Amino acid sequence: MERSDPEKLILVNREPDGIAFVTINRPKALNSLTRAMMRDLAQAFKALDREDSVRVIVLSGSGRAFCSGVDLTAAEDVFKGDVKDLEADPVAQMERCRKPIIVAVGGFAVTAGFEIALASDIVVAAKRTKFIDTHARFGIFPSWGLSQKLSRIIGPNKAREVSLAATPLTAEVAERLGFVNHVVEEGELLKKAREIAEAIVRNNQDLVMRYKSVINEGLKLDLGHALELEKERAHDYYNGMTKDQFKKMQEFIAGRSSKKPSSKL
């Protein structure tokens, strides 16, 4: 495994199997984000998206929290910066990333940490983890999507309670509502994230990226236009395939079918 400098606050470890691990590494401050950390995190996702050897990204936090939000001791520096600077915006870079992003959340994810989790594709959480939105409590206006994304996932009424009353959303409830994919023991968190990543790596990389794109783009549309988008993307995909690619597809399917045990009537 290629390891980054352990003194860095954003660690990036690339493994030869195509999985990259990104770690928010400021445990003494509960992984709260400074402006520099936000830029480094954004640039990490941008760089990994460009690397052909990287097929899946797993994001986690070191210590007892995933991310406690923005470092409020430097609030003015963070919030009066250019919120449209996409190069320093980790959520924007996550949303632009073509590779699947799995987030492994332990302890708690607060405000900006909550929004980073919402920007991922798959969420794995440790038991008793809490997602907390403190925007209203501290007078901070959301700008990384929490006011819009959460209600679309868990429903507007529950989202209003979580945000307006700053009511913690537990991992167990979040799983029932469809936000969290899996709730596991704390010691199994990265193991589960890796298991999902390995399953993705075994699939066709080009189709995985195209599939992620059409799902995410379709979510921005009504169902009718989303279905039209799927048809258009499928048409473009198959029109671009060569005879050799179709042959390989058929060989792959035939090979998989021959490995299945024969069914008995």
Instruction: Give the Cα separation of 248 and 64 in Å (integer).
Output: 47
pLDDT digits (tens, 9 = 90+) for 231-242: 999 999 999 888
**HSE value, Cβ hemisphere, 13 Å, CA-based, for 106:** 19
| Structure token digits, residue 62 | 């070191």
pLDDT digits (tens, 9 = 90+) for 41-82: 999 999 999 999 999 999 999 999 999 999 887 766 666 665
| The pairing of beta strand 130-132 with beta strand 169-170 | antiparallel
Which strands sit side by side in the sheet containing 169-170, from one edge to the other?
108-110, 130-132, 169-170
Please compute the mean of the pLDDT values over residues 188-217 and round it to a whole number.
96
Residue 261 has pLDDT above 90, yes or no: no
Looking at residue 259, its pLDDT comes to 58
Q: How confident is the model at residue 106 (pLDDT cuts 50, 70, 90)?
A: very high
Q: How confident is the model at residue 244 (pLDDT cuts 50, 70, 90)?
A: confident
Nearest Cα to Cα of residue 101 among 59, 61, 69: 59
| Structure token digits, residue 235 | 């048409």
Residue 152 has pLDDT above 80, yes or no: yes
Please compute the mean of the pLDDT values over residues 220-228 and round it to a whole number.
96
Residue 3 has pLDDT above 50, yes or no: no
Calculate what percentage of the chain has a pLDDT beyond 90: 78
Looking at residue 4, its pLDDT comes to 44
Q: What pTM was estimated for this model as a whole?
A: 0.89
Nearest Cα to Cα of residue 10 among 54, 46, 62: 62
Calculate what percentage of the chain has a pLDDT beyond 70: 89
